[in-house]
Homo-oligomer: A and B are copies of this chain.
């Protein structure tokens, strides 16, 4: 019933997994699945940690993310804006919002991320999507794909 935090954002008996298996559009990021759904609450709680200089995949999807910044800070593209994010900020990423997290400081950026167990697969940006995103100079300077 309890997943014990051990130390340094690792939990007892929770393996540290590859962030993704099916794409290489990310850097220096790990995944731990803390809770994998219950019949009455079919959601998955994951902890992602991005090492300095790393980033998550730039993507969009129908399913919604609830995110809590759990360690350190960094920057995130959320929809049409790049935000500074810091520990304890809470984020809702709506359906089909483009998003990417980056560990822009000299310390890790860790975040809890809640999703439905049943969810659609993320979609990577096409060249056309990237051209549209890059019309905003802040986004152009930020995104990695």
Contacts and interface: CB of A to CB of B under 8 A. Distances in A.
Contacts of A138: none
Interface residues of A, number: 42
Contacts of A69: 5
Contacts of A115: 41
Interface in A118-141: none
Contact of A90 (B5, B63, B65, B97): B5
A2 B45 contact: no
Given A4-B89, A5-B89, A38 B64 contact: yes
Contacts of A34: 90
Interface majority SS (helix, strand, loop, mixed), chain A: strand
Contact of A89 (B2, B38, B94): B2
B2 A90 contact: yes
B3 A91 contact: yes
20 contacts: A1-B79, A1-B91, A1-B93, A2-B78, A2-B91, A3-B89, A3-B92, A9-B88, A38-B64, A38-B66, A38-B92, A40-B63, A41-B64, A41-B65, A41-B114, A43-B43, A45-B66, A45-B114, A68-B68, A68-B112
Interface of A: 1-5, 9, 11, 34-35, 38-41, 43, 45, 62-66, 68-70, 78-79, 83, 85-95, 97, 112, 114-116
